[in-house]
Amino acid sequence: MLTGTRTSDASRLSQHLPGFTVHNIKLDKGNEGKNGHGIAVLVAPSCSDYVRVLKTSESVQCIWLQCDKKMFGLEEDVIVGAAYINPQIRDIFPVRAVQAHFTDLFEDTLGAFQVSPNVVLCGDFNAHVGKLSGVSDAHICVQQCEQGRSVVS
């Protein structure tokens, strides 16, 4: 996954990666070449038959791909979201804009969960989480998994 590609031209992104499939968002002409614009996901030739675009959210700069369950050996497909959220900059990208983008991203994520329970969301969120744990009651499954790992080790 590449963020800040600054181009919509797929051939430029894959010129040194023959056989790779490029999924990218189309930029407005005014945003071509500008910092913080453009996102692409490159899929290796061995996987390209198993990956397809589910959704492209240009307002949030996010590409959602659906990977066939065979790739991960799971019972259901895997949804991969590749996102870029602009950094908070006063007057250019204020807190309200950050909140609006995360709201859109949240809705897209919920949409992804409607397709499959297996979701990966990755990218440059310009999010500094510090020591925030991000654990809530909703993470009981993950906590159980973590406990299982420590028992094994």
Partner 1 sequence: MTRTYVCNSVNKAGQLLVDLAAATSMAIATGRVVGDDGKPSFTGDYGDKKSRPDHVLLSPALYKLVCLFKMWDTYASDHAALSTEFRVNVVGGESANTKHHVCRIGQCVNNLVLRWQHEKAHVYARHISENMELLAQIDEAERAGDVDKLAFCARSLIVQAASSRAVGMSAQAWCVFKRERSRKGPLNPVWFDWECWEKRKKFIEAVNVVMRNMPVGH
Q: Name 117's bridge partners.
A: none
* Secondary structure letter of residue 131 according to DSSP: T
Residue in 48, 80, 88 with CA at minimum distance from that of residue 62: 80
Of 31 and 88, the one with the shorter C-beta distance to partner 1 is: 88
Among 91, 132, 151, 152, binds partner 1 (CB under 8 A): 132
Residue 85 lies near partner 1 (rule: CB under 8 A): yes
CA distance 80 to 112: 9
Window 96-125: residues binding partner 1 (CB under 8 A): 98-99, 102, 105-106, 109-110, 113, 117-125
Residue in 49, 103, 113 with CA at minimum distance from that of residue 81: 113
Query: Which residue ranges make up the site for partner 1 (CB under 8 A)?
Result: 3-4, 9-11, 21-22, 46-49, 70-74, 78, 85, 87-88, 95, 98-99, 102, 105-106, 109-110, 113, 117-136, 138-139, 141-143, 145-146
